[in-house]
C-alpha cells in the first residue's frame, strides 16, 4: 500500500509540473507528456512554430522520473520556450 501511495504522489507531482510548463508555454504548446520507450524516458511536446507549422520535440530525460528536481523542470521549460532543440 505504501508503494501505491508513493506512486500516486509521484504521478501527481509530475502531472502538476507538466501542467505548469504547459501553462507557461501558453497556446504554442498543444501537447506535453512523458513517454517511455524501453528503458528510456522522454519529454514529448508539440509546439507551434513561427512558420505556422508544428514542431514535435522529444527530449531525453537522463534520470528516473522520481529523481527529477525543480531545476530539471525549469530546464525543460527553458529548452522548449527558447526553441533550443533540434528541429
Of 44, 11, 13, 9, whose CA–CA distance to 30 is shortest?
44
User: How confident is residue 87, by pLDDT bands cut at 50, 70 and 90?
Assistant: low
Residue 85 has pLDDT above 80, yes or no: no
CATH of 2-81, one of 1.10.4030, 3.40.190, 3.10.450, 3.30.70: 3.10.450
In the predicted structure, residue 58 carries a pLDDT above the cut 60: yes
Q: How far apart are CA 47 and CA 56, in angstroms?
A: 6
Domain ranges of the chain: 2-81
Location of C-alpha cell 504547459: 22
Q: What is the pLDDT of residue 84?
A: 84
The pLDDT of residue 9 is: 95
Interval 15-48: pLDDT, tens: 999 999 999 999 999 999 999 999 999 999 999 9
Amino acid at each position: 500500500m505504501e508503494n501505491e501511495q508513493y506512486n500516486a504522489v509521484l504521478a501527481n507531482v509530475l502531472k502538476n509540473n507538466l501542467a505548469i510548463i504547459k501553462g507557461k508555454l501558453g497556446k504554442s504548446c498543444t501537447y506535453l507528456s512523458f513517454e517511455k520507450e524501453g528503458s528510456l524516458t522522454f519529454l514529448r511536446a508539440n509546439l507551434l512554430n513561427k512558420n505556422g507549422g508544428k514542431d514535435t520535440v522529444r527530449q531525453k530525460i537522463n534520470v528516473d522520473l522520481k529523481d527529477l528536481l525543480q531545476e530539471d523542470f525549469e530546464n525543460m521549460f527553458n529548452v522548449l520556450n527558447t526553441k533550443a532543440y533540434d528541429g
